[in-house]
Amino acid sequence: MKISSTLLSRSAPKADLFVVGCFKGDKDFKTIKKTEPAFYKVAAEAVSKKRFEGKTNEVLTSFQTTYRQAPEVMLVGLGEKKDFKVASLRKTAGVLAGLANSRKALKVRVLLDSFLAEGISAAQAAVIFTETSLLATYRFNKYKTKKKDDPPKAPESVELVLEKKEELQGLRSLIVHSEKIAKAVLFARDLNNEPGNMMNAPKLAEEAKKLAKDKNLKCQIFGLEELKKKGMNGILAVNRGSVTPPALIILEYGEHYAKNGTVCIVGKGVTFDTGGISIKPSKSMEEMKYDKSGAITVVATMALVSDLKLPLHIVGLAPTVENNVANDPQRPGDIIKMYNGKTVEVMNTDAEGRLILADALSYCEEFKPDAIIDLATLTGMCHHTFGDKTCGILGTDQKLIDTIRDAGEKVGERCWQLPLWDEYGECIKSHHSDLQNVGDGYAGTITATMFLKEFVPAGIPWVHLDIAGMANCSQNRFDCPKGATGFGVRLFAEVLSNWSSENLSKPK
Ligand code: BES
Ligand code: MN
Ligand code: ZN
């Protein structure tokens, strides 16, 4: 899909569909009157007869080959102008992408001016239309046998047109920037929608290597032998139930920017989570193919930061395993010695994410980072608490938490904080070892994070995102079909693009 911005012109070649936003109560339609007088009559008539009132997602389309901008003009209701927020525009843009499809429009022209409101500038609207058009038209059809005359699934082009020249300024580069971000999200969705029989640790490692070559990243893969040598027994123990070897994937970007800061991003990569010997119930277990979301968000983000040429040293770590029950699996009660030397009693093999993340978090010390951010589909409890509206955010640096939360608000990937008080650490102490991998059954998201905290190198600001509930959607959504969402890529892009040591409570 090609996205562009131009000046509204009466002589431009026709598109297939011309889309105009309309707030509730709008009556004068000045721009339409000027540019599309024939449609203006239709619209004015519809409004006067209350056949179109501008309610949210209300649609009026009219087809006449004599129209100037496109043979089909669509008026889309935006509701009350005072209530129209960035989130509303996202939804509208997503719905419009679907509507354009159903109208079989290949060339779509959008009158961007008509979607602006207080707090939504032309620049913001351009970003949202670009991102959402790409995200909403994404499909994962790879494993479907193609029917010959399948209609095209997405418009070929979206033209964002503006009336005033001044507003066009800078839009081009914003569109290019947003396209890069959206493409990284789609890449993450593609990898994450792959099922467990197709995507495993060696395959993801291959993807990472390919990416490293394309994007000029440094790539290290620790396979079975290397992990053994290093004593990364958290990763090894979880993978014992699988015949497929594990991997710790490390991608590194911009070492020479270390003077501006070094950030480690770490993602949980469980390519399938059966629960292990503490096996999961079979209902919805197929969704556990998304338990690799964190790792994939990290890999996709590493590709993106290279595309965006961010002036920052960024290291992505993705511990990747399969939590299975064959081979020679770990047992409940097993005691393992982790990479940082602490011992853990494995009370429940289904609490595996924290075991693999623990080793990766400890290993971050090698890169002397200013901060560590990890994301993981860590606890079902987080999904239960927040549903699919926000991820959980917890950590040791309040300023960094605030920065990430604000970034999430801006890009539409919300984070809501849970406390990380020392008292929550009591229940992960073990009788026979230093720690146990589950708490007392309460506050599961917090106790899981308390466990991770034990493995974060001392003194390094750290934030954890529990993305269970956000990594995949169980129903079609305005900006994403059922399946992987690519959650976290936009959030990371925003946080890393605006990185500053000022975002930390104690800047180095
Ligand atoms: N991958 C799951 C968490 C999960 C559950 C993510 C549902 C998305 C949707 C994780 O490995 C897990 O199984 N956690 C357990 C922890 C428990 C055994 C302490 C859980 O949440 O039940
Ligand atoms: Mn599990
Ligand atoms: Zn898991």
Cα 154 from Cα 158, distance rounded (Å): 10
How far, in Å, CA of 205 to CA of 212, rounded? Answer: 10
CATH number of the CATH domain containing 397: 3.40.630.10
Ligand 1 atom closest to the CA of 447, numbered from 1: 19
107 in the same domain as 205: no
Q: Amino acid letter at 112?
A: L
168: in domain: no
Q: Is 171 a domain residue?
A: no
pLDDT at residue 149, rounded to an integer? 65
Tell me the backbone φ, ψ of residue 494, rounded to 5 degrees: -65, -45
Cα of 138 from ligand 2 centre, angstroms: 29
Residue 174 lies inside a defined structural domain of this protein: no
**Residue positions annotated with a catalytic role:** 280, 354
Is 474 inside any structural domain?
A: yes
Q: Residue 146: its pLDDT value, please?
A: 80
Q: Which domain holds residue 44?
A: 2-163
Which ligand is closest in space to the CA of residue 276?
Answer: 2
For residue 389, what are its two tokens? 């509206």
Q: Are residues 320 and 449 in the same domain?
A: yes
Q: Are residues 158 and 184 in the same domain?
A: no
Q: Which residues line ligand 1 (CB under 6 A)?
A: 273, 291, 348, 350-353, 377, 379-381, 383, 438, 444, 468
Ligand 3 centre from 190 Cα, in Å?
20
Same domain, 400 and 481: yes
Listed residues 138, 163, 188: the one ending a domain:
163
Q: Is residue 170 part of a domain?
A: no
pLDDT tens, the chain, 508 aa long = 999 999 999 899 999 999 999 999 987 788 899 999 999 999 999 999 999 999 999 999 999 999 999 999 999 999 999 999 999 999 999 999 999 999 999 999 999 999 999 999 999 999 999 999 999 999 999 999 987 666 667 899 999 999 999 999 999 999 999 999 999 999 999 999 999 999 999 999 999 999 999 999 999 999 999 999 999 999 999 999 999 999 999 999 999 999 999 999 999 999 999 999 999 999 999 999 999 999 999 999 999 999 999 999 999 999 999 999 999 999 999 999 999 999 999 999 999 999 999 999 999 999 999 999 999 999 999 999 999 999 999 999 999 999 999 999 999 999 999 999 999 999 999 999 999 999 999 999 999 999 999 999 999 999 999 999 999 999 999 999 999 999 999 999 999 999 999 999 976 6
> Which ligand 1 atom minimizes the distance to the CA of 383?
9
Query: Per the domain annotation, does 212 fall within a domain?
Result: yes
155 and 198 fall within a common domain: no
Among the atoms of ligand 1, which is closest to the Cα of residue 280? 13
| Alpha-carbon gap, residue 504 to 126, rounded angstroms | 31
DSSP letter at 487 equals: T
Question: Sign of the CA dihedral 236, 239, 242, 246?
Answer: negative
Ligand nearest to the CA of 382: 1
Coil, strand or helix at 21: strand
CATH number for the domain including 137? 3.40.220.10
Do 199 and 328 fall within a single domain? yes
Q: Whose Cα sits closest to atom 4 in ligand 1?
A: 380
Give me the phi and psi of 466, to 5 degrees please: -95, 105
* Together in a domain, 292 and 146: no
Q: How many domains does the chain have?
A: 2
- Does residue 40 lie within any of the structural domains? yes
d(CA 497, CA 414) in angstroms, rounded, equals: 17
- Kindly state whether residues 228 and 110 are assigned to the same domain: no
What is the distance between the alpha carbons of residues 344 and 450, in angstroms, rounded to a whole number?
Answer: 13
> Of all atoms in ligand 1, which is nearest to the CA of residue 275?
13
Best of 350, 356, 375, 436 for a ligand 1 pocket test (most atoms within 8 Å of beta carbon): 350
| Residue 163 C-alpha from the chain's centroid | 33
User: Looking at residue 151, what is its pLDDT?
Assistant: 65
Q: What is the DSSP string of 378-427?
A: --HHHHHHHTTS-EEEEES-HHHHHHHHHHHHHHT--EEE----GGGGGG
Claim to verify: residue 197 and residue 310 sit in the same structural domain: yes
Give the DSSP per-residue string, 319-387: EEEEE-SSSS---TT-EEE-TTS-EEE-S-TT--HHHHHHHHHHHGGGG--SEEEEEE---HHHHHHHT
Ligand 3 centre from 288 Cα, in Å?
7
Separation of 29 CA from ligand 1 center, angstroms?
Answer: 53
284 and 423 in a single domain? The answer is yes
Largest CA distance in the chain: 81
3-state SS of the chain: helix, strand, coil percent to 5? 40, 20, 40
